[in-house]
Amino acid sequence: DKGTYPYYMLKEIDEQPAVIRRIESKYISQEGNVHFDEKLLEQVSKASRIYIVGAGTSYHAGLVGKKIFEKMTGIPTEVVLASEFAYDDPLIEKDAFFIFLSQSGETADSRQVLVRVNEEWQKNSLTITNVANSTLAREAQFAVTLEAGPEIAVASTKAYVAQIALETLLAVAIGRYNQRDSALHFDVAGQLSRVANAIQTVVDEKSQIEKIAESNLTNTRNAFYIGRGLDYDVALEAALKLKEISYVQAEGFASGELKHGTIALIENGTPVLGLITQTKTADHTRSNLEEVISRGANVITITSEKLQRDGDNIILPEVDEILTPLVSVVATQLLAYYTTLQKGYNVDQPRNLAKSVTVE
Please report, as ranges, the residues that interact with ligand M6R according to CB under 6 A: 55-58, 102-104, 107, 110, 154-156, 240, 244, 356-357
String of b and e for 300-325 (b: at least 16 CB within 10 Å)?
A: bbbbbeebbeeebbbbbeebbebbbb
What is the smallest separation between the CB atom of 347 and ligand M6R, expressed in angstroms?
12
Q: Identify which of residues 55 and 68 has a Cβ nearer to ligand M6R in the complex.
A: 55
Active site residue 355: yes
What is the smallest separation between the CB atom of 269 and ligand M6R, expressed in angstroms?
27
Side-chain-side CA neighbours of 50 within 13 Å: the count stands at 30
Mention every residue, 6+ apart, whose C-beta is less than 8 A from residue 345: 245, 246, 247
Mention every residue, 6+ apart, whose C-beta is less than 8 A from residue 221: 248, 249
Q: Quick count: other Cβ atoms within 10 Å of Cβ 249?
A: 13
Q: Identify which of residues 184 and 353 has a Cβ nearer to ligand M6R in the complex.
A: 353
Q: Identify which of residues 47 and 154 has a Cβ nearer to ligand M6R in the complex.
A: 154
What is the smallest separation between the CB atom of 149 and ligand M6R, expressed in angstroms?
15
The answer to whether 353 touches 51, Cβ cutoff 8 Å, is no
What is the smallest separation between the CB atom of 23 and ligand M6R, expressed in angstroms?
16
Q: Identify which of residues 56 and 325 has a Cβ nearer to ligand M6R in the complex.
A: 56
Q: Identify which of residues 24 and 151 has a Cβ nearer to ligand M6R in the complex.
A: 151
End-to-end CA gap in the chain:
31
The single residue of 2, 46, 343, 355 carrying the catalytic annotation is 355
**Amino acid making up residue 122:** Q
Q: Estimate to the nearest angstrom the gap between the alpha carbon of 282 and the chain centroid.
A: 20
Ranked by CB distance to ligand M6R, the top (closest) residue is: 56
| CB-based burial label for 181 (10 Å; 0-12, 13-18, 19+) | exposed
What is the smallest separation between the CB atom of 350 and ligand M6R, expressed in angstroms?
8
Q: Which residues are catalytic?
A: 355
